[in-house]
């Protein structure tokens, strides 16, 4: 019997999105709508000494000018906890305009509300704000000497230091050592839809339309900041135009929109501009990683030392968790990893696609390539020799892995073994051609809180499933209809998934590739509970053909419950009993930290590049990724996610960079004109192999998620291919023209 799960169904919301029918949070209409514009600080540190709003107030339509002098005070600043874990999740533990201090460039220092967007924008430009400026500190070069080792990073969820074995002994027994410093430029999220919120008060009740990865996280955070009961705030988020981590934590604008709406007594719409996206919702921090590998002559790792240094904000110890998967990938007995931070004039960094591991695995996988070259061992073979069959950090077996099949199928599809391992051996005209590969890994940790959904079947046989989760482009709305269809045994065309509303059962913020697993678990549990309830009712119902049957004998298919020759449609059962519908809730309790398994997703990346050494140009010609994400819910949307991740890896490797101007402490790039992302013209032939592995531990359907794994290792495969092409080992992302240009031959 074919199942709905896994089918490459097209997106249920595709038509609404391409026709413009889909309504995003700052497109929601409301009677009396007003429009808010934010003003960002022109300095990177210091304080606001005066605000002259007189010219702004002379403009027609201006309703409010809010600054540190008159913005309502917050009730309570909740602590920084990663949004996945089900509590309030502020992006940083600082709320702007509570006093005159400016901590970073672009920090919100004023909010102007007017009756039209254009009037608000114009009035905002007329504010005269004076500052007292202090010397900014933003770059690693400036902050290196002030670095400290925090107690913990990532909202306190990860220790800043980890070790196993004895790193000194491991390095001493290594016959060969590879060591290098890896540098990473800061990255900024650039989803199509900039972040924004629309706030509508009705008396003391707030409806907040917000572009978010978790409506419950927004609800919890805004309620705490405003000091209102959770029962008085509903967060709605039916469509979100991409996110990639910048809508995972709850930044200031939804709360500011709600504050402003209360001040003007009318609904407020607040959309960030593209420029403001660079200074209002976090970023991937600039970082430096120092990595040392020790190995025996036959390529077995004896030691891995991995240190990271990065800037954080004045208030929070945040570093993306770059050392996590790199510590788990290989069975290396001696390990030491540590994070160091320094306080800088920046906002708190945040999740960004492939959070942590896309940088940490870059360092590890480039170093592994270097080791393979040094020992003349094939790079795939070197990894297979070292792959950790149990998690070396916890000592627990993997719930599933599939890495060997990823290497085998990826290498076969790519044609890996056709290569001459010698660098600079292949040339086509002025181009040097090279191939490279890398392993990919990403944790599949379940959320820490129960995940809930509700399933309802109507007397006409149509099904609605509800869960609070938003759909931010991942395909969840499509895949969850497939999950419900299989659990209930109804055609997928009869199932509809309703989402993005705190009035629906709670789901943690979809972060770190956890969405597909946790939401499918909740939906599957709810729909299964509904099926079991209906079967119980049928076998107990004297009017049913199934009366008296053992419930465990009843199978469901095509909207009917069947045992042997006896069969009854769900719809007939409901109608006979004069019931308009039946409904069940489901709660999935994720495995805890004490689960006897370690959970991660693995994959393998391969790339071919052409490099013109005279011009320093790189063209990625093709990429192949093989991934083992457990069970695939929808082959089309999963593949799209993986291709998207791989192309982002290409962008991270060759294009994406933002830099702080050390003099002004401001970002150099704040628009899509000069912040480069990969576009169609950069896109090579991309092949994806889906290696389905069974996993009975991670969640009921064995889904490990595909949001991040496509990006992890992609950059390293490209850097390794560049080394193979040119003989140059470039230990940074992005790799740019000046890293590769060679003096023309005399």
- 511: contact with ligand MOS by CB under 6 A: yes
Identify the H or E element spanning 525: helix 515-540
- 352: contact with ligand MOS by CB under 6 A: yes
Angle value at C-alpha 76, between 266 and 42, nearest 5 degrees: 70
CB atoms within 10 A of CB 19: 8
- 518: contact with ligand MOS by CB under 6 A: no
Pick between residue 244 and residue 362 the one whose CB is nearest to ligand MOS. 244
Query: Mapping DSSP to helix (H, G, I), strand (E, B) and coil, where does residue 444 land?
Result: coil
3 state SS for 117-133: HHHHHHHHHHCEEEEEE
In angstroms, what is the minimal distance from the CB of 251 to ligand MOS? 13
**Count residues contacting ligand MOS (CB under 6 A)?**
10
**Distance from C-alpha of 105 to C-alpha of 280, rounded to nearest angstrom:** 10
- 245: contact with ligand MOS by CB under 6 A: yes
Among 244, 339, 627, 667, binds ligand MOS (CB under 6 A): 244
Please tell me which residue in 288, 583, 708, 738 is annotated as part of the active site.
708
Q: Catalytic residue at 151?
A: no
**Distance from C-alpha of 556 to C-alpha of 547, rounded to nearest angstrom:** 15
- Considering Cα of 221, then 223, then 229, then 231, what sign does the dihedral take? negative
Strands (DSSP E) contained in 485-599 are: 495-498, 555-557, 560-563, 566-569, 581-588
In angstroms, what is the minimal distance from the CB of 711 to ligand MOS? 9
CA distances from 4 to 187, 535, 567, 587, 632 (A): 38, 21, 21, 22, 11
- 284: contact with ligand MOS by CB under 6 A: no
Pairing of strands 581-588, 566-569: unpaired
Interface region with ligand MOS, contact rule CB under 6 A, candidates 13-21, 92-100, 125-133, 348-356: 348-356
Q: Which x/- pattern over 382-421 shows residues binding ligand MOS (rule: CB under 6 A)?
A: ----------------------------------------
In angstroms, what is the minimal distance from the CB of 284 to ligand MOS? 9
Smallest CA-to-CA distance from 244 within 639, 710, 679 is with 710
**165-224 binders of ligand MOS (CB under 6 A):** 213
- Considering Cα of 262, then 346, then 87, then 320, what sign does the dihedral take? positive
- 431: contact with ligand MOS by CB under 6 A: no
In angstroms, what is the minimal distance from the CB of 703 to ligand MOS? 16
In angstroms, what is the minimal distance from the CB of 158 to ligand MOS? 14
Residue nearest to ligand MOS (CB): 245
- 355: contact with ligand MOS by CB under 6 A: yes
403 φ, ψ (degrees, to nearest 5): -65, -40
**562-601 binders of ligand MOS (CB under 6 A):** none
Query: Mapping DSSP to helix (H, G, I), strand (E, B) and coil, where does residue 223 land?
Result: helix
In angstroms, what is the minimal distance from the CB of 88 to ligand MOS? 17
Pick between residue 509 and residue 530 the one whose CB is nearest to ligand MOS. 509
**Cis status of the peptide bond prior to 734, with omega within 30 of 0:** yes
- 88: contact with ligand MOS by CB under 6 A: no
Pick between residue 511 and residue 561 the one whose CB is nearest to ligand MOS. 511
In angstroms, what is the minimal distance from the CB of 472 to ligand MOS? 9
- 240: contact with ligand MOS by CB under 6 A: no
Interface region with ligand MOS, contact rule CB under 6 A, candidates 149-157, 242-250, 495-503, 523-531: 242-250
DSSP per residue, 384-416: HHHB-SB-TTT-PBBS---HHHHHHHHHHHHTG
Pick between residue 345 and residue 358 the one whose CB is nearest to ligand MOS. 358
Among 294, 512, 629, 715, binds ligand MOS (CB under 6 A): 512
Pick between residue 351 and residue 602 the one whose CB is nearest to ligand MOS. 351
DSSP per residue, 580-632: SEEEEEEEE----TT-SSB-EEEEEEEEEEEEETTTTEEEEEEEEEEEE-BS-
CA distances from 88 to 155, 220, 715 (A): 12, 5, 33
The footprint of ligand MOS (CB under 6 A) covers: 213, 244-245, 248, 351-353, 355, 511-512
Active-site annotation, residues: 708
């Amino acid at each position: 019997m074919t199942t709905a799960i896994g089918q490459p169904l097209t997106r249920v919301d595709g038509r609404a999105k391409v026709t413009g029918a889909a309504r995003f949070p700052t497109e929601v209409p409301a009677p009396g709508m007003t429009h808010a514009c934010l003003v960002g600080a022109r300095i990177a540190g210091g304080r606001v000494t005066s605000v002259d709003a007189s010219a702004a107030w002379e403009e027609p339509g201006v309703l409010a000018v809010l600054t540190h002098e008159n913005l309502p005070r917050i009730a309570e600043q909740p602590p920084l906890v990663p949004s996945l874990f089900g509590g309030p999740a502020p992006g940083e533990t600082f709320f702007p305009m509570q006093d005159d201090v400016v901590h970073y460039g672009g920090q919100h220092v004023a909010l102007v509300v007017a009756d039209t967007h254009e009037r608000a924008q114009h009035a905002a430009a007329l504010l005269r704000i004076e500052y007292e400026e202090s010397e900014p500190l933003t770059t690693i070069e400036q902050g290196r000497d002030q670095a400290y080792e925090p107690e913990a990073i990532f909202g306190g969820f990860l220790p800043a230091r980890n070790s196993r074995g004895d790193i000194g002994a491991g390095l001493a027994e290594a016959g060969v050592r590879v060591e290098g410093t890896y540098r990473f430029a800061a990255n900024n999220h650039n989803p199509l839809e900039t972040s924004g919120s629309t706030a509508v008060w009705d008396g003391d009740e707030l409806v907040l339309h917000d572009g978010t990865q978790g409506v419950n996280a927004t609800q919890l955070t805004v309620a705490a900041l405003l000091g209102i009961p959770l029962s008085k705030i509903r967060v709605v988020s039916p469509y979100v135009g991409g996110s990639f981590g910048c809508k995972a934590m709850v930044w200031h604008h939804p709360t500011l929109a709600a504050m402003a709406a209360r001040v003007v007594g009318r609904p407020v719409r607040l959309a960030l501009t593209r420029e403001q996206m660079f200074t209002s919702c976090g970023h991937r921090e600039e970082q430096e990683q120092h990595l040392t590998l020790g190995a025996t002559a036959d390529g077995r790792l004896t030691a891995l030392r991995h240190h990271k240094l990065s800037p954080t904000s004045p208030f929070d110890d945040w570093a993306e968790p770059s050392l996590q998967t790199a510590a788990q990938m290989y069975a290396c007995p001696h390990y030491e990893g540590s994070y160091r931070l320094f306080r800088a004039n920046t906002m708190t960094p945040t999740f960004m696609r492939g959070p942590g591991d896309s940088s940490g695995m870059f360092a590890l996988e480039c170093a592994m390539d270097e080791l393979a070259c040094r020992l003349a061992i094939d790079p795939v073979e070197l990894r297979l020799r070292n792959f950790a069959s149990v998690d070396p950090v916890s000592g627990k077996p993997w719930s599933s892995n599939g890495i060997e099949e990823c290497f085998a199928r990826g290498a076969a599809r790519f044609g890996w073994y056709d290569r001459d391992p010698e660098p600079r051996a292949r040339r086509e005209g002025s181009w040097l051609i090279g191939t490279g590969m890398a392993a990919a890994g990403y944790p599949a940790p379940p959320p820490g809180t129960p995940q809930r959904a509700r399933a309802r079947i109507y007397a006409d046989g149509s099904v609605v499933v509800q869960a609070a989760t938003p759909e931010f482009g991942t395909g969840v709305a499509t895949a969850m209809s497939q999950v419900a269809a299989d659990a209930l045994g109804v055609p997928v065309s009869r199932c509809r998934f309703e989402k993005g509303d705190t009035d629906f059962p709670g789901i943690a913020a979809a972060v770190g590739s956890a969405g597909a697993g946790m939401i499918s678990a909740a939906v599957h549990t709810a729909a299964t509970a509904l099926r079991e309830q209906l079967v119980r009712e049928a076998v107990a119902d004297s009017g049913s053909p199934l009366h008296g049957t053992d419930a465990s004998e009843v199978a469901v298919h095509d909207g009917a419950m069947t045992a042997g020759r006896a069969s009854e449609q769900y719809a007939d059962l409901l109608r006979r009993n004069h019931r308009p519908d039946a409904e069940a809730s489901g709660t999935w309790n994720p495995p805890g930290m004490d689960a006897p398994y370690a959970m991660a997703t693995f994959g393998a990346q391969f790339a071919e590049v052409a490099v013109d050494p005279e011009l320093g140009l790189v063209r990625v010609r093709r990429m192949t990724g093989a991934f083992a994400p457990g069970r695939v819910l929808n082959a089309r949307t999963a593949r799209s996610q993986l291709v998207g991740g791989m192309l982002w890896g290409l962008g991270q490797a060759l294009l994406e960079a933002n830099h702080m101007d050390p003099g002004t402490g401001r970002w150099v790039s704040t628009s899509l004109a000069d912040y480069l992302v990969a576009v169609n013209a950069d896109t090579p032939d991309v092949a994806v192999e889906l290696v389905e592995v069974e996993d009975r531990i991670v969640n009921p359907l064995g889904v490990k998620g595909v949001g991040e794994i496509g990006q992890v290792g992609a950059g390293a495969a490209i850097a390794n291919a560049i080394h193979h092409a040119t003989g140059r080992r470039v230990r940074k992302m992005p790799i740019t023209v000046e890293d590769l240009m060679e003096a023309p031959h005399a």
